Structure 1
Amino acid sequence: MNEEQKFKKATYHLKTFLISKMVSALGANVYAFGMSMYILSLTGSAFSFAANLIFSIVPRIVFSPIAGVMGDRYSRKKLVIVGQLGEAAAITGLLIYSILFGLSLPAIYCTTVMYSVCSTFSSVAFSASLGNLVDGGRMQKAMSFNQISYSFSGIGGPIVGGLLFGFVSIQLFLIINIAALIITTALEATMNFTLFKREESPREKEETMVGSLREGWHYIRKKPVIKSILFTGLWINLFFTCLNVGGDYVLLEQLKVRPQHIGIVEAAGAIGMLLTSIYFASRANVKNPLLFSKCAILGLSLLIAAFALPLIFSLSYPIVITFYAIAMLLFGSLGILTNTPILVMLQNSIDEEYRGRVFGILEMMAMGMMPVGTIIYGLLFDLVPAAYLFIGSGIILIGVTMICLNSRVIKQGELALLNLKTDMTV
């Protein structure tokens, strides 16, 4: 295949995964919104809601490194396809169970675990394949398109979920997700996951799973910037669970916001993601990704603290909705400003034969503290005033960011980026 044909195929990939990810994420967001509202309405407990998050997070932590190893050893395309079919099978099982016996918390929790395991293999394999689907010159555009698809679905998912909740059976939420997964699998089956695959250095011997993981970890240890990003994500995600656990709980149970309006608030976050992703799709790479992301994380920390304001001051219902919608708009935008520059740098700097393992380990470490945070915040929101938790978490996040992304780490990032540019011009 000549360069012109590869370029055309890469353009097809950009369009295809934009559509496929938009469809799959829309189905997932409708399903997630429906399940969240169902659990909160059934139990009225933040801890019951948090338990579902835990069952979603723990399998990703456990299986992400394994998925990374398999992504470096076997066909990433097959892992993506089989993983998505497994997600569809898990939701189909819950649908059949709900028709026969009705929904129950244990059934939802079991489905969440199976869905999360399958999703881990498909998402890690796809992340490791992005550099093979498009050329390096359009990597930031590709990642921005990926974010745009999630943003569109993030806008539509909560709105659709909010409109449907209370008017239709919960089974419709399941059917929407199943249909979306089938469409996504059919589209991604047409993509060439080895279009820009580079030649790998031959292995002297076949390694064990543990040996392969150890080699991936050794590779990360030799890359100080990647190691800093890994441990920063570990601690930052611990305190970001404050909003994941407490956001919907506070809106629904304490401020008595209707589900339709909660959908609008969540959609505002996706709008912020969409606008910022479009911005990144049309601009050059960020010069200093770590410093750029540090400023964005500090902004996110202040926003988490600001979530306490409607709980402290007596505000009218429309003002509460408007305030949280604006806050989520900014939160979604700052999230993209945090992640995109760093992910582009990682895609361009990680050697292909290690990409699956590195992304698997990064995902494991980034989510490693979330179950702990989810359990803690799930209990605290039932015991401690939510305003104290939001303000305290925001202050702690500022301190953690200043320590983890200190001036020495920022300088290492600048040096690593300079070395990368030098290697690319040689």
Structure 2
Amino acid sequence: MMEDRLKLKKATYHLWTFTISKLISSFGAQIYSFAVSFYILQLTGSATSFAANLICNILPRTLAAPFAGYLTDKYSRKIIAITSQAATTLAIAGLLTVTVTSGLSLAAVYTTSCILSLTSMFSGVAFTSSITGLVDKERIQKAMSLNQMSISFAAIASPAVGGLLYGAVSMPVFLITYMSASIIAILLESTMNFTLFANRKVEVKGEAKESMWQSMKAGIQYLKQNSLIVTIIWMALLINFLFGAYEVGYSFILIEKLKMASRNFGFTQGAFAIGMLVLSVYFSVRKEVKFPFRLAKRAFIGMGIIMGGAALPILISMSGTAVFVYYLVIMFTLGTMIITVNTPIQVMLQKQIEDDFKGRVFSIVETMAMALMPLGMVLYGFLYDVFPAQWILLLSASLFVAVTLILARPSVVRRAHPELSEEKSVSGEVARNF
């Protein structure tokens, strides 16, 4: 009993240390991203150069994710997380050195973006795979919610701080801020026990007994045995691709079509992060969701409706104030929908996937979720230049809802939650008795 109490006390420490570490590192990363985005646009004035940096942030992590999954399952997750954070610090230190000695350049920024993309992905997979080792099962939802809260809070605060600092201080100050945040995150992570509640059958001794290819095949084979996870992967692939219509179209419609002021546009972006934060707080204090897949299906349908609704101010005439308020509500609601999908599904996956396969499975989920995003951004960028924005959004939203209804059809929901069939049988029996 004494040992159990000590473990629960350590789990509480992990819960808050993990949250603070994520908050600090996310805040540093967001500040850096803000500064670099402004630098690229001011230096080149080119959307292509800006898009190239986005691709540097997405493509490396998509390609390397399967390898990260293999390493995470075969070696110490704590070492991988800390090494990744240390590599982040060194990459920023390298960029700082280049900036001070020879001046900042696009080549240096792109190279650093590629490195940071890789390190954040390795760190993310290691941490995601370790949640059930860091905290007890009863607090997995709270851990996932607090993690999302830290990211959302950083997303809200960092643009404001970045806006105040940019132009007032030099680029090296931004880089030193990020380095300092990264070092603090390393110190916090080094105090955590990643195997406190772990249930791994494979001993981690620093030596892999099977080849990388055999390990990846074993991960894919494990996935094939769980049809629900395969369904979630297909939904992530197709829905993220179709959601590109909103990601590209939202800025295009507000800035180019509706001529919204930059300050108001910034407020709508902030509303999205606030929506995510509010729902993260809600999930951190409520009991665990009973039917996560069914809830995620409903939230996806809600996202599809929001996508289509974003076209409304183009279709009907609205005042500038009404447009601003409308998109504030749209973005806030979208933020809540995304958390309603992500948190319950992540908790469900944490509980269903065996510890020895978590790294490979989560890396495959991440790879598939991001695989078509670059293509979606390029395709929708072209479509918005050729066709009316409202019809692209409405058609994509319809496909979004259709994909959700097909892949998460009632039979799949019942397979995910067999208790639903039992509840219906009991309610039917009660109805017959009356």
Structure 2 length normalisation: TM-score?
0.88
What is aligned with 1:272?
Answer: 275
Contact 1:162 1:260 in 2 (8 A): no
Matches within 5 A, 1:58-77: 58-77=59-78
- 1:303 equivalent in structure 2: 306
Aligned counterparts of 1:160 and 1:326: Cα–Cα separation in 2: 24
Corresponding position of 1:30: 31
Cα pair distance change 1:160/1:378, threshold 3 Å: farther
Shift of 1:257: 4.6
Compute the RMSD of aligned alpha carbons.
Answer: 2.7
Shift of 1:360: 1.1
Q: Which residue of 1 aligns with 2:124?
A: 123
> Does the alignment pair 1:365 with 2:368?
yes
Who is 1:422 aligned against? Answer: none
Counterparts of residues 391-402 of structure 1 (less than 5 Å): 391-402=394-405
* Residue aligning to 2:287: 284
Residue aligning to 2:413: 410
1:331 aligns with 2:334: yes
Which is greater in Rg?
2
- Cα drift, residue 392 of structure 1: 2.9
Cα displacement (A) at 1:145: 1.0
Number of aligned residues: 419
Which shifted more, 245-254 or 401-410?
A: 245-254
Q: What are the Cα deviations for residues 118-171 of structure 1, in whole angstroms up to 9, with x where unaligned? A: 111111001000100000111111111111111211211222234444554444
Alignment of 1:191 onto 2:188: no
Aligned equivalent of 1:2: 3
Bigger CA drift: 285-294 or 320-329? 320-329
Aligned equivalent of 2:85: 84
Q: Which amino acid in structure 1 is aligned with residue 180 of structure 2?
A: A
Counterparts in 2 of 1:418 and 1:344: CA distance versus 1, 3 Å: farther
Paired residue for 1:213? 216
Distance 1:105 1:386, change over 3 A: farther
**Contact 2:66 / 2:364 at 8 angstroms: preserved in 1?**
yes
Contact 1:148 1:277 survives alignment (8 Å): yes
Cα distance in 1 between the residues matched to 2:55 and 2:83:
24
Name 2:96's counterpart in structure 1.
Answer: 95
Q: Distance in 2 between matches of 1:253 and 1:107?
A: 31
Deviation at 1:309, TM superposition (A): 3.3
Q: CA deviation at 1:325?
A: 2.3
Residue identity opposite 1:56 in structure 2: N
- Whether the 8 Å CA contact 2:414–2:420 is kept in 1: the answer is no
- In terms of mean alpha carbon deviation, does 367-376 or 10-19 score higher? 367-376
Secondary structure at the counterpart of residue 207 of structure 1: coil
Q: Give the counterpart letter for 1:119 in structure 2.
A: S
* Correspondence for 2:231: 228
> Which residue identity is paired with 2:146?
F
Deviation at 1:173, TM superposition (A): 3.6
For the 8 Å contact 1:47–1:375, the answer to whether it is kept is no
Deviation at 1:314, TM superposition (A): 5.3
- Call closer, same or farther: CA 1:249–1:49 in 2, change over 3 Å: farther
Equivalent position of 1:112 in the other structure = 113
The unaligned stretches of length 5 or more in structure 1 are 420-426
Report the AA paired with residue 4 of structure 1. R
- Stretch moving more, 286-295 or 40-49: 40-49
CA distance in 2, matches of 1:91, 1:308: 40
Deviation at 1:44, TM superposition (A): 5.2
Quote the Cα distance in structure 2 between the aligned partners of 1:30 and 1:257: 24
CA contact (8 A) 1:49 1:245 kept: no
Shift in Å at residue 47 of structure 1?
A: 4.2
Q: 1:319 offset after TM fit, Å? A: 4.0
1:54 and 1:374 in contact (8 A); partners too: no
SS at structure 1 position matched to 2:371: coil
* One of 224, 237, 241 as aligned partner of 2:240: 237
User: Relative to 1, partners in 2 of residues 1:99 and 1:159: Cα closer, same or farther, differing over 3 Å?
Assistant: same
Identity of aligned residues (%): 44
SS of alignment partner, residue 287 of structure 1:
coil
Does the residue aligned with 1:198 lie in a helix, a strand or coil? coil
Q: Give the letter aligned to residue 66 of structure 2.
A: P
Alpha carbons of 1:202 and 1:142: their partners in 2 closer, same or farther (altered >3 Å)?
Answer: closer
CA contact (8 A) 1:67 1:356 kept: yes
Distance 1:247 1:92 in 2: 35
2:346 is aligned, of 343, 350, 357, to 343
- Does the C-alpha gap of structure 1 residues 181 and 201 become closer, same or farther in structure 2, counting only changes over 3 Å? closer
Q: Alpha-carbon deviation of 1:394?
A: 1.6
Residue segments in structure 2 that go unaligned for 5+ positions in a row = 423-434
Deviates further, 210-219 or 55-64: 55-64
Query: How does 1:367-382 map onto structure 2 within 5 Å?
Result: 367-382=370-385
Secondary structure in 1 matching 2:417: helix
Match of 1:263 in 2: 266
Distance 1:34 1:11 in 2: 35
